[in-house]
Chain A
Amino acid sequence: MTVPVKRPGRHPFAKWAGDTGWRHLVALAVLAFGLVPIVYVISAAFNPNGTLSSTSLLPTGFSLSNFEKLFTEPNVPFGQWFLNSLVIAVPAAFISIFISSLAAYAFSRFRFKGRRPMLLFLLLIQMFPAFLAVVALYLIFGTIGDFYPVAGLNTKLGLMLVYMGGALGVSTWLMKGFFDTIPKELDEAATIDGAGHAQIFFGMVLPLAAPIIAISGILAFVGTMNDFILASLFLTDRPEMTLAVGLKTLTAENSPASYFGIFAAGTLLTSVLTVAVFMSLQRYIVSGLTGGAVKG
């Protein structure tokens, strides 16, 4: 693999710098850009004063008071927000990925009339994300709430239904692309062994597609956690808010200056969750994203 270029008497360090050294430099420069805000949040979260003006990049003091306030201040029901976010995002992600994988299986394994138009339609409807239709969603859920108060406005179930409404979409395409790479011969072998279509799907295709299921699940989960526009419209009572809506209120102009530390502590606790999810599924993420990338 070495390229025979004539460079007699080249100093080993110069060679290292040319081959690998610049790579480290680039990586370190990008890392600096990437890490500064994160370090800043950590520094702010442990800052005893908790105000923006007393926070610097590197921590100057250490105290857990911000974390304490997060759970004791009656005006900051952080635990409740965290729970709300989980209660909404986890089932919404699970159910929508399950539903999406069902559809992807149909698109990948069956040939039927309207298959291509439906696939293209899924791409098109993606261009009209749910929040563009907030006004209409607002009207719809107002009506639903008249008949079924459990799923109307200001309910978690209503918000979950909106999130699940977007189940079919990009993730269906991603999963269909992955399912296509699982050889059909496997299905045929299983059929000969007497397996029905449901057994093939649940027993074989789903387990084999674990990487793409994982990445789609994470993206759905993180997308739901990060949603602000719908959640802020649907959940207006303070204890009912999700993390995104609740934490935003801590940085609002009318919040006390010392709330910045509490906000940073809340951010840190929220990220512990998402970072843990990402790190544990890291190998899937890389292969999943590029699987989608290469196969479109």
Chain B
Amino acid sequence: MLDQRPQGSATAAGLIIKIGVLAVVAALAVWAAMPLIAAEAWWGLALEAAVVAVVFYVYLQRRAIQLKYLVPGTLLLIAFQILPVVLTIGTSFSNYGDGHRVDKEQATEAIIAAGVQQTPGGATYLLAVGESAAGELTLLLTDEADGSTWAGTEEGLTELDGATVDATGRVTAAPDYTVWTLAELGERQGELTELAVPTGPESGIKVQGLSAFEGHSTRSYDEGCDCITDTATGTVWHADDETGSFLTEDGQAALVGWRVNIGADNYLAVLTDPDIRGPFLGIFAWNVMFAAGSVLLTFAIGLGTAMALNKPDMRGTKVYRTIMILPYAMPSFAMLLVWAQMFNRDFGLVNDLFNLNVNWYGGTWSARAMVLIANTWLGWPYMFLISLGALQALPSDSLEAARIDGATGVTAFRKITLPLLLIALTPLLISSFAFNFNNFNAIELLSGGHPFGAGDAVGGTDLLITYAFRQAFGSSSADYGFASAISVFIFLIVATISAVMFRFTRNQEDVYA
């Protein structure tokens, strides 16, 4: 065995490369440690030190050679695949989302800040509003006194660097934010009324029209009753640690709440809440249909074409094959967008070519037919390539024997060719199923989930993944907890289906071997 032979850096060049790589690692480690030390993030620093120690140990030891090959991928795997999965599962048990983004202390501050009344002589700001990529609203403020720019959220005020301002000093663009136009600012004032930026225990910044002011709050927090009292209106909000909200006597929640663990509520909502259960089952059924339909259609066309071209002495096969790869080689995101235009009711090519007048996006089933057609177009060349390869790799003696026994044409295909092919191709068909089950691009770029019924949150062509994505990042309020729960659902479904299918093929293979 290889791993038992005496080890040593065989050449001087190898040794130099090794020293060089480790030197780079050390340099990176020092660079990475600086911000952690500056922020006094000792846990982060300990973690970093541990990672670096592992890397050095692995590349300086000589016993477990395989680790030298496994460590880079494993580190990336842990950081960017396993950790996100763990975090997703964690989030799925919380109420994290709009209205529940911050911790309790910050929520308290934000509610107090919302009761701010302008005090004479307090700072005033020119207002712009930016949306972070996560959809969190941020006040982009320009101090009218000295022109400095600030970013304020319900968590507090931070200095804003690199902002572009117009002649009056108002922020018009800022890194990491999509800035509202003045027109939008007018239209969406309603979303800002309860948004306030805490600046101290009982002071904050509040929006008024196109500007904002700093002042003192009429609200205060009392630790004894764990409640917030507004002296101006007499309202009292009591903290409810179960739901992470401050509630008034009659059960009205203050707009800002905090993150709490809500157990399996997000999962239970899918099973018990009729408003969610019905649409969810509908999406699930269509999701399975879409994935299975895509695999079947692409495989049927791909295999049929491969059968037709699997004849060595036929002329033109090479040309055909080259052209057939084209749809596979075209960038799929762009072609999905092209298909979306081709299904345009008035000017689209499909209606034009077949003299139809179908409103493809209008009806549920026409939209579903549309995404299946386009997705089949994208997928069949892959099926063609793998079918052709598998056909050519079939043991010719089985086919010969079948022919001698008198099996020809359809019988030979059904009894010999197809079973042999399926053994080779089932793993790929399963991964194709899993891929299409989560084919976010196909739905998002083609139909965007349309058609939507009036007031429905769920579209006729929505898959679970597009539905979850809209819950988290759509235009309505974000619900990360629920979106994460759906992600976990999707994972469980795909993993189960795959496991069952893999077991099934394993059995098949045993019979074959």
Q: Is A110 interfacial (CB-CB < 8 Å)?
A: yes
B472 with A196: CB separation less than 8 A: no
B84 with A133: CB separation less than 8 A: yes
Within 8 A of B (CB), among A166-210: 166-168, 170, 172, 184, 187-188, 191, 194-199, 201
B82 with A38: CB separation less than 8 A: no
Q: Is B123 interfacial (CB-CB < 8 Å)?
A: no
Residue among B315, B324, B337, B349 making CB contact with A57, cutoff 8 Å: B349
Task: Knowing A33-B377, A133-B85, A199-B14 are in contact, say whether A264-B70 is a contact too (CB < 8 A).
Answer: no
Q: Is A102 interfacial (CB-CB < 8 Å)?
A: yes
How many residue pairs at the A-B interface have CB separations less than 8 Å?
A: 321
Q: Is B495 interfacial (CB-CB < 8 Å)?
A: yes
Q: Which residue of B lies closest to A3 (CB)?
A: B403
Q: Is A214 interfacial (CB-CB < 8 Å)?
A: no
Residue among B3, B69, B330, B425 making CB contact with A274, cutoff 8 Å: B330
B81 with A165: CB separation less than 8 A: yes
Within 8 A of B (CB), among A204-234: 222, 225-226, 228-229, 233-234
Q: Is B186 interfacial (CB-CB < 8 Å)?
A: no
Residues of A within 8 A of B301 (CB): 30, 33
User: What sequence of 0s and 1s flags, for each residue 63-103 of chain B, a beta carbon within 8 Å of any chain A beta carbon?
Assistant: 01111011011101101111111111001000000000000
Q: Is A67 interfacial (CB-CB < 8 Å)?
A: no
Query: How many angstroms between the C-alpha atoms of A148 and B31 in the bound complex?
Result: 10
B83 with A197: CB separation less than 8 A: no
A154 with B176: CB separation less than 8 A: yes
Q: Is A105 interfacial (CB-CB < 8 Å)?
A: yes
Residues of A within 8 A of B73 (CB): 99-100, 102-103, 167-168, 172
B428 with A34: CB separation less than 8 A: no
B347 with A53: CB separation less than 8 A: yes
Max chain A CB contacts within 10 Å: which of B5, B66, B314, B342? Answer: B66
B483 with A270: CB separation less than 8 A: no
Max chain B CB contacts within 10 Å: which of A52, A99, A124, A133? Answer: A133
Query: How many angstroms between the C-alpha atoms of A117 and B460 in the bound complex?
Result: 40
The interface on chain B, measured as residues whose beta carbon lies within 8 A of the other chain's beta carbons, has a size of: 118
Q: Is B295 interfacial (CB-CB < 8 Å)?
A: no
A196 with B349: CB separation less than 8 A: no
CB of A42, distance to nearest CB on chain B (Å): 11
CB of B184, distance to nearest CB on chain A (Å): 13
CB of A116, distance to nearest CB on chain B (Å): 13
Main secondary structure of the interface of A (DSSP, over half): helix
Interface band, chain A: 35 or more
Task: Knowing A168-B76, A271-B331 are in contact, say whether A34-B377 is a contact too (CB < 8 A).
Answer: yes
CB of B318, distance to nearest CB on chain A (Å): 10
B14 with A294: CB separation less than 8 A: no
CB of A3, distance to nearest CB on chain B (Å): 7
Residue among B80, B327, B444, B473 making CB contact with A34, cutoff 8 Å: B327
Q: Which residue of A lies closest to B77 (CB)?
A: A168
Q: Is A135 interfacial (CB-CB < 8 Å)?
A: yes
B91 with A136: CB separation less than 8 A: yes
Residues of B within 8 A of A290 (CB): 385-386, 388-390, 392-393
Max chain A CB contacts within 10 Å: which of B41, B304, B344, B491? Answer: B491
User: What sequence of 0s and 1s flags, for each residue 136-174 of chain A, a beta carbon within 8 Å of any chain B beta carbon?
Assistant: 111110000011100001100000011011111010100
**Interface-lining segment among A7-15, A70-78, A240-248:** A240-248
Task: Knowing A168-B74, A236-B133 are in contact, say whether A248-B337 is a contact too (CB < 8 A).
Answer: yes
Q: Which residue of B lies closest to A163 (CB)?
A: B80
A127 with B498: CB separation less than 8 A: yes
CB of A218, distance to nearest CB on chain B (Å): 9
Residues of A within 8 A of B380 (CB): 30, 34
Q: Is A56 interfacial (CB-CB < 8 Å)?
A: yes
Q: Is A106 interfacial (CB-CB < 8 Å)?
A: yes
Within 8 A of A (CB), among B456-482: 465, 468-469, 472-473, 480
Q: Is B353 interfacial (CB-CB < 8 Å)?
A: yes
CB of B36, distance to nearest CB on chain A (Å): 6
CB of B265, distance to nearest CB on chain A (Å): 17
Query: How many angstroms between the C-alpha atoms of A146 and B465 in the bound complex?
Result: 29
B331 with A286: CB separation less than 8 A: no
Query: How many angstroms between the C-alpha atoms of A132 and B326 in the bound complex?
Result: 30
Query: How many angstroms between the C-alpha atoms of A30 and B306 in the bound complex?
Result: 11
Residues of A within 8 A of B512 (CB): none
Query: How many angstroms between the C-alpha atoms of A248 and B308 in the bound complex?
Result: 37
Residue among A30, A234, A287, A294 making CB contact with B305, cutoff 8 Å: A30
CB of B435, distance to nearest CB on chain A (Å): 9
Residues of A within 8 A of B487 (CB): 132-133, 135
A138 with B341: CB separation less than 8 A: no
Query: How many angstroms between the C-alpha atoms of A294 and B18 in the bound complex?
Result: 37
B326 with A196: CB separation less than 8 A: no
Residues of A within 8 A of B64 (CB): 112
CB of B247, distance to nearest CB on chain A (Å): 27
Q: Is B32 interfacial (CB-CB < 8 Å)?
A: yes
A286 with B389: CB separation less than 8 A: yes
Q: Is B440 interfacial (CB-CB < 8 Å)?
A: yes
List B residues at the A interface (Cβ < 8 Å): 1-3, 5, 7-11, 14, 32, 35-36, 39, 41, 44, 64-67, 69-70, 72-74, 76-77, 79-88, 91, 133-134, 175-176, 178, 301, 304-305, 308-309, 311, 314-316, 320, 322-335, 337-342, 344, 346-349, 352-353, 377, 380-382, 385-386, 388-390, 392-393, 403, 408, 424-425, 427-428, 431, 434, 438, 440-441, 444-445, 465, 468-469, 472-473, 480, 483-484, 487, 490-491, 494-495, 498
3 tightest A-B CB contacts, nearest first: A165-B80, A290-B389, A133-B84
Please give 14 more A-B residue pairs, beta carbons under 8 A apart, in addition to A27-B305, A38-B327, A172-B73. Answer: A35-B323, A140-B87, A153-B176, A196-B14, A197-B2, A228-B333, A228-B440, A228-B441, A247-B337, A267-B331, A275-B329, A279-B325, A289-B389, A290-B390
